[in-house]
Structure 1
Amino acid sequence: MTQTLHILGGGMAGSEAAWQAAEAGVPVVLHEMRPQVGTFAHRTGSFAEMVCSNSFRSDDDERNAVGLLHWEMGAAGGLIMEMARAHRLPAGGALAVDRDPFAEAVTARLRSHPLISVAEGEVTELPTEGHWIIATGPLTSGALAESIRAETGAEALAFFDAIAPIVYAESVDMTKAWMQSRYDKGETLEEQTAYMNCPLTKDEYEAFIDALLAAEKTEFHEGETAGYFDGCLPIEVMAERGRETLRFGPMKPVGLTNAHQPDVKPYAVVQLRRDNALGTLYNIVGFQTKMKYGAQTAVLKMIPALAEASFARLGGIHRNTFINSPTLLDAQMRLKSRPNIRFAGQITGVEGYVESAAMGLLAGRLAAAEIQGRSLEAPSGETAMGALIHHITGGAEAKTFQPMNVNFGLFPPIEAKGGRRGRKDRYKAYTDRAKEVFSEWLARQS
C-alpha cells in the first residue's frame, strides 16, 4: 500500500505540491490552519489565496526568467499555472490574476481530487514520522516556527514585506487619469489599455515626496532588525534613498502618453492594475507601504486622480520568515537532520508566487518518487526550476542568504558563438536551452 504524503500549508507551494503528488498516484493529506487560525494578510480559508500583488509578473517565456518558469510549470501540468491562465486579467505583458475566483478554483480542484483529503487546524510541531512537506510560507505560525528553530539549532532568518493598497475603480477621477499599458504593450486593445495612469507635474511630485517622507509610519518592535526584500520595498523606503528614486521606479513616466494632454509629458505617473475580472478594483502598482492608515490615505489622495479615491484595502507591512536553506536542506529539499521532511515555497528563501509554486511542484514530484521507490533528481540548473532549487540548496552563500526571485544570473552562462551576444539574444538562448533540457527531464519520468 502506498504511503501517505502529508503537506503542511495550503498556499501556492502546498497546493501545487499536493496536486503533483496526487497526480503521480500518491495519497495526500493537505493540512491548513485557516480559517480556524488566521494571519495578518489572509482574508479567507481558500487555498492559494493571493495576499500581496495579483500579478504573476512577465509572461514572456522567450526572454524573461519568470516567463520561462511559467512555461516550465505549464509543461509539468502545474495546477497553479493552469488556474492562473483560466482566471487571467488584462495586464499588458504580465500575467495578472482575478485573485478570488483563482483561489476558489484551486480549492475546488484540490478538494475534489480522489487522492487528496484536507485536515483543518494548526500543526504546532515538526512531525517525527511519515513523509512531510512543510510549505507554510513566510507567515508560518509562531509555534511551528519555534519548533523549526529548536530542530535546526539556528534562528530563522527574516525580512519585512509590504502590501500595496487597492482602490475602487469608480472613485478614480478619469478626467485626469487615462487607460494605457506602458508602450501600448499587448496583442489586444484590452491588453494595451490594461492600466489606469495617474499623472503628476513636477510640483505635484515634489509635494508628494515631501508628504511621503514626513508621514507617520509603522515602526518595528525592539529587537526586530530584519531587512526588506528589494523586490517589495515600501515606497517611503525608496523615497528615502533619493527624491528621484520613485520617478525612476514605480512612478516612471516612460512609454506613456497622457490622453487628456498628449503634448504634455507627465513628470511622474502612478499606475493602477486591474485586481478583479469585474474591473471594480485596482491595485496601485509598486506602492507597497508601511505608512499608518490615516497618513496613507492623506498622502495617496495627493495624487490628483486619486483625490476622491476610496480604498478597498490599505497597504501594510508584516514580518516574513524563511530558513537558511543552503545549510539546512539537501539537494532533494529534505531537512538534513530529518530527511522525512521537505521544505517548499517562500519559507525556503525563494520570493514570489510563481517561484513558490514552482518549488512546491518540485517538492511534490520528488516526494512522490521517493514514496514510490523511484529515483528522481531535480532538473538541471540550466532550467528555471533547476536554477532556483540549486540556488537554495547550496548555490547561494549561506552567510548572506536572502530571498531571491528567479533571474538569469542563477543560470550557467552561455558562451557566445561568433562574438558577443546582445542581451535579448542571450536571454533567448537561455530559454531555448532551458525548454529543451526541461522537456528531457519530464520525458524521463513518463
Structure 2
Amino acid sequence: MTQEIHIVGGGMAGSEAAWQAAEAGAQVVIHEMRPKVGTFAHRTGNLAEMVCSNSFRSDDDEQNAVGLLHWEMRQANGLIMSTAARHRLPAGGALAVDRDPFSETVTNTLKAHPNIKISYKEITDLPEDGHWIIATGPLTSEGLGAAIARETGRDALAFFDAIAPIVYFDSLNMDVAWLQSRYDKGDTEEERTAYINCPMTKPQYEAFIDALLDADKTEFHEGETAGYFDGCLPIEVMAERGRETLRHGPMKPIGLTNKHHPDEKPYAVVQLRRDNALGTLYNIVGFQTKMKYGAQTSVFKMIPGLEDAQFARLGGIHRNTFINSPTLLDAQMRLRSKPNIRFAGQITGVEGYVESAAIGLLAGRMAAAEICGQTLPPIPVTTAMGALVSHITGGADAKTFQPMNVNFGLFPPLDGVKGGRRGRKERYKGYTDRAKADWSSWLAQSSLDAA
C-alpha cells in the first residue's frame, strides 16, 4: 500500500481505526488537535483519553450486547479492548480501567507502530481527495463542525452531554459508607467489594432531592435547544422527572446490605466506583450534572459519607454533536456527497466508548480494504458490530435519529422465535451464540491482501 489513510481525531474511534488500518498494512496519519487546541472535557494530549466514565460497561458476552461487542472487538485484535485488559480495575461484572495509564498505553502503542504518524494540528476543512476518516467525537471543533454543516446542507444534530465528579478516597467517611458490589457480584473479593456505597434514609433522600431541584445550574445560550441523551442524563433532569426517579435509577438500593447496620434497609444508595489502580480516586456513578461548581460541592456533601469529600474533578456539561448518519452515510460509512471521507465514532450517532471504538474498528478496516482495491463482505447484522453499523447507516428512522448504545433490540429476531416465546436469558444467549459464530466467519472471510 502506498496511499495514506488520514484520521481526524485521536479518541476511541480514531485510535482503533488507526490501529486496524496500520495492522492491515496501510500507512496512517492521525491528526489530533490536542494538546495545542484543548476542549472543555479533556485534560491531556493523550490519545483515547477517557473524559467521562472510566467504565466500558458490562463484560458479560453471553447476556449483554455491549459485552458481546467487547468479545467481537477482541476477536478482531482490537487495541482498545487489549489495552483495557492491561489496566483493568475491579468493578464487579463491568470492565473499568485506570484511565490515565490506559490512555498513555494507547498513545505509546500507536506512536511505536511503524505504519503510524501523528500530526498535532487542527483540521478545519473537509478534504477534497485522499482517504480520510473523521472521528472527532462529540467535541468536534467549531471550524470542522461548520465545514461538516456546510457540506451536508443542514445543521448537525446535537444534544448535551454531562460528566460526573471524582472524589479522593481518603476524604470519604468509611464509618458510614461500605464496600460492596451490587448482589456481591464478582469472582474475587476485590471484585465483590469494587464499589463504595453511601446509604440514605428517606428524610435524607427527600432533602437531597430538594437541594438538587433548587441548586444553581448551568444555563444554555439562546438558541441551544438540543436535548439530552437518556444514557447520560444530568441527575437534576432525572429528579425533575419525578422525586422517585433517582431512587429507581443510579440511587437504587437493591442488592446491597449496609455492613454497618445490616438490619436497616437504605431508602436510597449512592455508589462510587474506583477510578484508578491506586484506589485513591472514585467517581460518583450516574451523577452527571449541570450544577454550577459551588452548588455541586454543597449538594454532594449532603450525601452520607461525603460530608468532608474533596473533589479531584467536579461535574460539568458540554455540547455533543452528531450527524444524521442514516441520510448522509452509505453502508461503508462514507459520506455520500464526498465518498473519500468516512465517519466513525460518536459523531455518527453511536453512544459510548465501546460503540465508538467498534465503529472505528470497522472504518479502519474498510479504508484499508479500499486502498487494497478490495471491498469487505457485508457485516452480518446478526453480530453486535453489524447491528450497530446497520442501525446508523439506514436501519434507524432519519426523522427521529438519536444517539444509540448497542442493544439486543437492534438484532434481527432468532429464527422461529418471536417476542417472549423464549425466556429473556435463553433469548440473549441465542443472540450471542449466533453472533459469535457469524462474526468468526466474517473475520475469516475478511483478511486483506496488503501486498
Find the residue that maps to 1:304 and give its secondary structure: coil
> Is 2:334–2:341's contact at 8 Å kept on the other side of the alignment?
yes
Aligned length: 446
Question: Match for residue 109 of structure 2?
Answer: 109
Question: Match for residue 272 of structure 2?
Answer: 272
- TM-score by structure 1 length? 0.99
Deviations 1:85-134, CA, capped at 9 Å, x for gaps = 11010000000010000000000000000000111110110111100000
Q: Distance in 2 between matches of 1:306 and 1:375?
A: 55
1:46 deviates by 0.3
Please tell me the residue identity of whatever aligns with 2:264. V
1:445 deviates by 1.9
Q: Distance in 2 between matches of 1:304 and 1:374?
A: 60
Please tell me the residue identity of whatever aligns with 1:435. K
CA spacing shift, 1:356–1:417, aligned 2, 3 Å: closer
Question: Match for residue 144 of structure 1?
Answer: 144
Question: Match for residue 122 of structure 2?
Answer: 122
Find the residue that maps to 2:49 and give its secondary structure: coil
Question: Match for residue 392 of structure 1?
Answer: 392
Question: Match for residue 297 of structure 2?
Answer: 297
Question: Match for residue 244 of structure 2?
Answer: 244
Find the residue that maps to 1:221 and give its secondary structure: coil
1:378 deviates by 4.0
Q: Distance in 2 between matches of 1:177 and 1:378?
A: 51
1:392-411 equivalence runs, <5 A: 392-411=392-411
1:7-406 equivalence runs, <5 A: 7-406=7-406
Question: Match for residue 445 of structure 1?
Answer: 446
> Is 2:414–2:430's contact at 8 Å kept on the other side of the alignment?
yes
Find the residue that maps to 1:354 and give its secondary structure: helix
> Is 2:138–2:347's contact at 8 Å kept on the other side of the alignment?
yes
> Is 2:160–2:229's contact at 8 Å kept on the other side of the alignment?
yes
1:217 deviates by 0.3
1:417 deviates by 6.1
Deviations 1:166-210, CA, capped at 9 Å, x for gaps = 000000100000000000000000000000000000110000000
Q: Distance in 2 between matches of 1:233 and 1:118?
A: 34
> Is 1:130–1:340's contact at 8 Å kept on the other side of the alignment?
yes
1:380 deviates by 1.0
Q: Distance in 2 between matches of 1:4 and 1:303?
A: 53
1:411 deviates by 0.3
Q: Distance in 2 between matches of 1:31 and 1:377?
A: 29
Q: Distance in 2 between matches of 1:313 and 1:120?
A: 26
Query: After the TM superposition, which segments of 4 or more aligned residues of structure 1 sit over 3 Å from their partners?
Result: 415-419
Q: Distance in 1 between matches of 2:290 and 2:377?
A: 42
Find the residue that maps to 2:260 and give its secondary structure: coil
Unaligned runs of 5+ in 1: none
Question: Match for residue 424 of structure 2?
Answer: 423
1:415 deviates by 3.7
1:375 deviates by 2.0
Please tell me the residue identity of whatever aligns with 2:130. G
Deviations 1:314-338, CA, capped at 9 Å, x for gaps = 0000000000000000000000000
Q: Distance in 2 between matches of 1:445 and 1:209?
A: 53
1:379 deviates by 1.2
1:288 deviates by 0.3
1:433 equivalent in alignment to 2:434: yes
Please tell me the residue identity of whatever aligns with 2:435. A
> Is 2:377–2:445's contact at 8 Å kept on the other side of the alignment?
no
> Is 1:165–1:313's contact at 8 Å kept on the other side of the alignment?
yes
Unaligned runs of 5+ in 2: none
Deviations 1:249-294, CA, capped at 9 Å, x for gaps = 0000000000000000001000000000000000000000000000
1:416 deviates by 4.9
> Is 1:359–1:389's contact at 8 Å kept on the other side of the alignment?
yes
Find the residue that maps to 1:306 and give its secondary structure: coil
Task: Provide the identity percentage.
Answer: 78
Of 377-386 and 21-30, more deviation after overlay is shown by 377-386
Q: Distance in 2 between matches of 1:279 and 1:164?
A: 17
Q: Distance in 2 between matches of 1:416 and 1:444?
A: 27
1:295 deviates by 0.5
1:213 deviates by 0.4
1:377 deviates by 3.1
Q: Distance in 2 between matches of 1:77 and 1:101?
A: 20
> Is 2:377–2:446's contact at 8 Å kept on the other side of the alignment?
no
Of 71-80 and 407-416, more deviation after overlay is shown by 407-416
Find the residue that maps to 1:305 and give its secondary structure: coil
1:147 deviates by 0.4
Q: Distance in 1 between matches of 2:178 and 2:284?
A: 14
Q: Distance in 2 between matches of 1:323 and 1:245?
A: 30
1:2 deviates by 2.2
Q: Name the Cα RMSD after superposition.
A: 1.0
> Is 1:16–1:78's contact at 8 Å kept on the other side of the alignment?
yes
> Is 1:126–1:144's contact at 8 Å kept on the other side of the alignment?
yes
Q: Distance in 2 between matches of 1:220 and 1:31?
A: 30
Deviations 1:133-166, CA, capped at 9 Å, x for gaps = 0000010000000000111101100000000000
Find the residue that maps to 2:220 and give its secondary structure: coil
Find the residue that maps to 1:61 and give its secondary structure: coil
> Is 1:362–1:378's contact at 8 Å kept on the other side of the alignment?
no
Deviations 1:331-386, CA, capped at 9 Å, x for gaps = 00000000000000000000000000000000000000000111213411100010
Q: Distance in 2 between matches of 1:304 and 1:219?
A: 29
Q: Distance in 1 between matches of 2:375 and 2:120?
A: 32
Q: Distance in 1 between matches of 2:416 and 2:301?
A: 50
Please tell me the residue identity of whatever aligns with 2:446. Q
Q: Distance in 2 between matches of 1:202 and 1:375?
A: 59
